[in-house]
Amino acid sequence: MSIRNLRTLIAVADHGTFSAAAEAVFVTHAAVSQQMKALEQEWQVSLFDRSSRTSSLTPLGHALVAEARKVVAAYDSIVPAALGDGGLAGELTLGAVPTALTGMVPFSVAMLKDDYPDLHVRVVPGATIDLVEQLERGALDAAVITKPLSVPATTDWHEIAVEPLELIAAAETESEDPRELLETNPFIRFSRKAVVGAMIDHWLRDRGIRVADSMELENLEAISSMVYANLGVSIVPRQSVVVADRLPLRRIPLGDSNAVRVMGVLSRRDRVKVRVLEELRAKLQKTVEIGRFDPRRQTPAETTTGDSERKPTNG
């Protein structure tokens, strides 16, 4: 039995097909098939049901994948444990929701890379629900997400920031009343596929606010651009790490202390990259303390909190 074959087995489980697994582990489809047959012969079990066109894992196959993950994780921790670097070299696979990809994540990863240049960080974008699923499958080391309604028992949650929801409108908007603006302007909705989008939808319904949907978008930058063009108003989270030169919009608090989304880091409890995840969380917290990211002027070493724009809300 080889670690390589176990990695391929896990890739098949994570990606669903031999072809997709082949791309993930950089081998041919034929090589994946040969490796899986080698495992079946060595273990004297049937890992796959090949009665249909696409092979699928048998119940025993699923059980063995779970054990294979433990073996591979233990193998990957051997060198870091011996060297004492805790995984501060090699690769970290980090999931992140789109709203964290403009300020919080790039700033924190830049600081992480500045301290640990031998660490390669691969960022995987996605919605919270999708990233939680990938994390549970072992495809991610950690994910920066909106806190889900239910945190899986096999994971650890670490809060990073609390971001109030706010109404955004074009700069020339005169009213300060969120209800009036929502009920008299087209509404640009944050996608309800996202946890924060569903949260916004519940907030509107709980207060009996009727909106005239004009569009539903998944990207905060796209929503902001539509609002900037005076095509409607929207409700979005007030980002704890803002990017310099963001669009000049009216940003009006909803006046509801419960209208917040919680951002944090989710990781598996059986993780082996303990040290690097601790460092990642520390960098994320620092970005929130600074509150502003200007990639043209700000270097990772610049960690002063003299932000003239605002101090972020953090709880």
Extract the tokens encoding 246. Answer: 């963001």
Residues 62-78: what's their mean pLDDT?
Answer: 82
Q: Are 105 and 240 in contact (CB under 8 A)?
A: no
Of residues 136 and 181, more confidently modeled = 181
pTM across the whole model: 0.71
Among candidates 217, 243, 247, 254, which has minimal Cα distance to 312? Answer: 243
* Residue found by looking up tokens 């495809």 in the block: 139
Q: What is the pLDDT of residues 167-210, one digit of tens each?
A: 999 999 999 999 999 999 999 999 998 999 999 999 999 999 99
Q: Are 163 and 237 in contact (CB under 8 A)?
A: yes
Cα–Cα distance measured from residue 61 to residue 57, given in angstroms and rounded to the nearest whole number = 5
Cα–Cα distance measured from residue 108 to residue 295, given in angstroms and rounded to the nearest whole number = 12
Extract the tokens encoding 279. Answer: 């460092």
Q: Are 75 and 81 in contact (CB under 8 A)?
A: no
Extract the tokens encoding 151. Answer: 């945190």
- Give residue 262's pLDDT: 96
List of domains in the chain:
3-76 (1.10.10.10), 85-315 (3.40.190.290)
Other residues' Cβ atoms within 10 Å of the Cβ of residue 255:
12
Q: Are 152 and 136 in contact (CB under 8 A)?
A: yes
The mean pLDDT of the chain is: 87
Cα–Cα distance measured from residue 124 to residue 158, given in angstroms and rounded to the nearest whole number = 19
Cα–Cα distance measured from residue 218 to residue 211, given in angstroms and rounded to the nearest whole number = 18
User: 3-class SS at 163?
Assistant: strand
